[in-house]
Amino acid sequence: MNVFEKVAHATISAREFSRRHPRGTTGAVLALLAGFAATAFGIAPLAPDAADLPKHIVTETISPEGVAAQLAALAEYELELSRSDLTRASDTADSLLQRLGVTDTQAAAYLRRDPVARKLLEGRGGKMVQAKADASGKLLELVARYPAESADQQATHFTRLSIRADDTGNWHAKVETAPLQAEVRLGSGTIRNSLFGATDEARIPDGVASQLAEMFSTEIDFHRELRKGDTFSVVYEALTADGEPITWNQGAGHVMAAEFVNAGRAHQALWYRDASGKGAYFGFDGQSKRRSFLASPMEFSRVTSGFAMRFHPIAQSWRQHLGVDYGAPMGTPVRSVGDGTIDFAGVQNGYGNVVQIKHSGERTTVYAHLSRIDVKKGQHVDQGQRIGAVGMTGWATGPHLHFEFRIQGQHQDPLKIARDAETVAVSPASREQFAALARSAKTQLEVAASMAGTHIGFE
């Protein structure tokens, strides 16, 4: 069952959806059920005219119980208060519990004393922690979730640290590894200042925002063309730990479909995997969003110097700049813009640490001033594969990436090459299947847009 079929299947839980998301429920449910309207009409019996039905008026007097009786009934229930937060590197047992609304000296002492419980405050901050306390502030239970301790499991599992008191009042701590779960979610937002600001406001993971910028990068210049009032809608899979979206790895969400309206023009994309098992983003017209060369050697950066004449900061003279400079912090990952073979990886005069990649059609790309090199000469690399990190080696006045594109040894404007790079289309044999997925994706995006400001998740 593909992701859109999962979302459509989830519409049968309309009552649960209504309870959890009352805002805009009617519009959302009608949109989700639109694909089934014709069938429902065909099998439903004709109902009698409501005007012909008998009418009865029932009158009943209801006397509410007194306030004292209601308070007494309420007092019989034991209140549990729950609060969630993220741990900080500077946290102590007392500061963390205080921020969680817990007042319990015995629990704080246990967090400091027990070797398993101390894992809560060890290492990096950012652990997702949830505490339950009674009305007096006494801790009942504390559960923390954070990346799996084994590096090779961090993409698929998480660590759960549970701290509970037994019936005798003794505390116990337990650590276990559990699998992450994928959950289909819908979201939408409006640009006010920046893309990441809008996705934060819509509670969409940063990883999803990066994918949005990437999948539409050949159509929208997110550095110069983003406009206040631009809107986006997205269907994505979020990884969750016990039902809670994870906060590490940028939320680790995978975009399944999206629409971005920039300056009044709508751009759509859908993730589609062909018969060979290789997936890519396609427009609803079946044209691939993946070009032979990416628009940028970094996921999110800014152009500081283009392919033009400029005043050289070191030579102190006007010279033709034969590439594009991207400003980014030291250590920012640098990726190959296309499939190819490493032709050179090492130190080269003013370029400092540099990587040269040979592509098909006598085309070569150059990545200079790197702080580190992650590939070797002769190695094959795929489009998007990490080859190094931003630095300021060689002739550089600050951390940045100098990027060049050459065809038969002649320098070309990298930004123009990316825009003009060739694309592929869905094969004729897959057209019918793709069209069905595109229709389903369009419906889900319409639902996401209608629920602007409201988060929707389907389990």
Q: Which domains does the chain have, with CATH numbers?
A: 80-179 (3.10.450.350), 182-290+437-458 (3.10.450.350), 302-420 (2.70.70.10)
H or E stretch at 17 = helix 14-20
Tokens 């594009």, residue located: 324
pLDDT in tens, the chain (459 residues): 554 555 444 443 444 444 444 444 444 444 444 443 333 333 334 445 656 677 778 887 777 777 887 777 767 777 788 999 999 999 999 999 999 999 999 999 999 999 999 999 998 899 999 999 988 889 999 999 999 988 788 888 999 999 998 888 889 999 999 999 888 889 999 999 888 889 888 888 888 888 888 888 778 878 778 899 999 999 998 888 998 888 776 556 789 999 999 999 999 999 998 766 778 889 998 888 777 788 788 876 566 665 444 444 554 544 556 788 888 889 999 999 889 999 999 998 889 999 999 998 899 999 999 999 999 999 999 888 999 999 989 888 889 999 999 999 888 887 777 666 666 778 788 888 899 999 999 999 999 888 765 444 444
CA geometry: angle at 225 spanning 221 and 231, to 5°? 100
* Rounded-to-integer distance, Cα 107 and Cα 140, Å: 9
* Rounded-to-integer distance, Cα 325 and Cα 298, Å: 11
Tokens 């050697």, residue located: 297
Question: How far is CA 66 from each of CA 78, 133, 330, rounded to the nearest angstrom?
Answer: 21, 30, 68
> 81 by DSSP, 3-state: which?
strand
Do residues 247 and 238 lie in contact, with contact meaning Cβ atoms separated by under 8 Å? no
Spatial neighbors of 429 by CB under 8 A, at least 6 apart, are 275
* Rounded-to-integer distance, Cα 323 and Cα 326, Å: 10
* Rounded-to-integer distance, Cα 99 and Cα 458, Å: 31
Burial class (CB in 10 A: 0-12, 13-18, 19+), 419: middle
Instruction: Tell me if the pTM is above 0.85.
Output: no
H or E stretch at 431 = helix 431-450
Cα-Cα-Cα-Cα torsion 87, 89, 90, 94, nearest 10 degrees, comes to 30
User: DSSP code of 425?
Assistant: B
* Rounded-to-integer distance, Cα 238 and Cα 187, Å: 11
